[in-house]
Structure 1
Amino acid sequence: MIRKISPYLPEKSIPLLNRVMANIDTELRVSKPRKSKLGDFRPLGTSGKSKISINADLNEYSFLLTLLHELAHHLCWVKHHGKVKPHGEEWKREFESILKPFVLSNVFPVDVSEATWNYLKNPKASSCSDENLYKTLRNYDFVKDDSVYVSDLAIGQQFEYIDKGLFEVLAKKRKRILCLSIKKKKRYLFQPTVSVNLIHL
């Protein structure tokens, strides 16, 4: 089942993943890159099976972590049929159970393993929600660009965010970065892990 996605995975993960997938009946698909999500799980497709899709542009460790995240959704659905919260305690238990063997088998590099252990203490909707894990995984991306994290900018610095124009950092809150749109004169809250292009004035 995982043969078609094996090129996207760490080679060391494949035997473990084969064992995991032996009792899981779902369709796996590699998707075009999506800005809104790294992967998704859909309970029932036209084939009567659940469907899992993972973005093709992820590095091998991000791809694996996202796949395990979505497989935990599948296992949770099989047991509870959508009667529990998507990222509630039931999902967290499934995710921790499915992920731990990969961490213990040193499938991930040391820095990713350490960040993953910390993430497992309270896993969120995606690895992007955990600043330390997201930044650690980004170190293994295929293409290195000149972007920076908005959390790394100082108050008053300006940056460009994709096609949304110029912004200025106003304040750093506990979980968000408050920024001002130069053009619209409106304030927006950014996730700390958002990648932006620094403007040198």
Structure 2
Amino acid sequence: MSVSVLEKFLPENALPYLKIWFGSYPCHLKITKNRNSKLGDYRKLPDKSHQITVNGTLEPQLFFFVLTHELAHLIAFEKYGRRISPHGAEWKQTFREMLLESLTVYAEDLRPIIQKFSKSPKANFMASPDLVKYFHVPDEDELLYLENLIVGDVFVLENKVFVIEETTKKRYLCRNLKSGLKYKVNILARVKKMDNHYEK
């Protein structure tokens, strides 16, 4: 895929950065349908070329952010060799430099969040509450972040009903009301709160 084809998925002024970053590296770039499990993916192929996939349904700024994340893998592997850790120090440094280099591509209210994130880039987008909240605009279904609920609150996630039993900093211990099984759920999961409340 030509880099120029990406333009319709990108925020304004992003394309010049991608042309520099892709350079002459052999890379297969695929735009995919929405995937709930991941926003993007990078693979080093056996023939020493690279493959990057990004969800085509992402908002332009998030698309560019995810593509930058995946491209940082490509550039780090090319620069430091194949033995580096996928999300190790070399990748973090590469990703940090790319984010700061392209900071003006992002909206003014997003730039401080990107700058903060770049100080210690995370492997998982969900590990950055500020970014998750910025890109997840409340919708008509009245979905809430799990962190907005308390112990005893009942909620629906992926068509299953749970009750919160314990709260921690990053994950809540929740019990499936039908099976009785307990799960640790990320506090940034988007859930629908039910009216009933359970007391221990």
Task: Check whether TM > 0.5.
Answer: yes
Match of 1:117 in 2: 115
> 2:122 matched to 1:146?
no
Q: CA deviation at 1:23?
A: 4.2
Match of 1:155 among 151, 171, 174: 151
- In structure 2, distance between residues paired with 1:114 and 1:127: 16
Q: What letter is aligned with 1:113?
A: R
How do residues 1-201 of structure 1 correspond to structure 2 at under 5 angstroms? 1-44=2-45, 49-103=49-103, 105=104, 107-139=105-137, 145-163=141-159, 165-201=160-196
- In structure 2, distance between residues paired with 1:158 and 1:85: 40
8 Å Cα contact 2:10/2:64 also seen in 1:
yes
Q: Matched residue of 1:86: which SS? A: coil
Change in Cα spacing, 1:45 to 1:194, as seen in structure 2 (3 Å) is farther
Q: Matched residue of 1:79: which SS? A: helix
* Structure 1 gap ranges (5+): none
After TM superposition, the score normalised by the length of structure 1 is: 0.88
RMSD over aligned CA atoms reads 1.9
Q: Deviations over 1:102-133 (max 9, x none)?
A: 11x2x112232111111112111122211111
Q: What letter is aligned with 2:151?
A: I
Q: Matched residue of 2:195: which SS? A: coil
8 Å Cα contact 2:29/2:53 also seen in 1:
yes
Q: CA deviation at 1:161?
A: 0.6
After TM superposition, the score normalised by the length of structure 2 is: 0.89
Q: Matched residue of 2:3: which SS? A: coil
Q: CA deviation at 1:45?
A: 6.3
Name the % identity: 28
- In structure 2, distance between residues paired with 1:94 and 1:175: 27
8 Å Cα contact 1:175/1:192 also seen in 2:
yes
- In structure 1, distance between residues paired with 2:23 and 2:50: 15
- In structure 2, distance between residues paired with 1:61 and 1:108: 6
Q: What letter is aligned with 2:100?
A: K
8 Å Cα contact 2:21/2:71 also seen in 1:
no
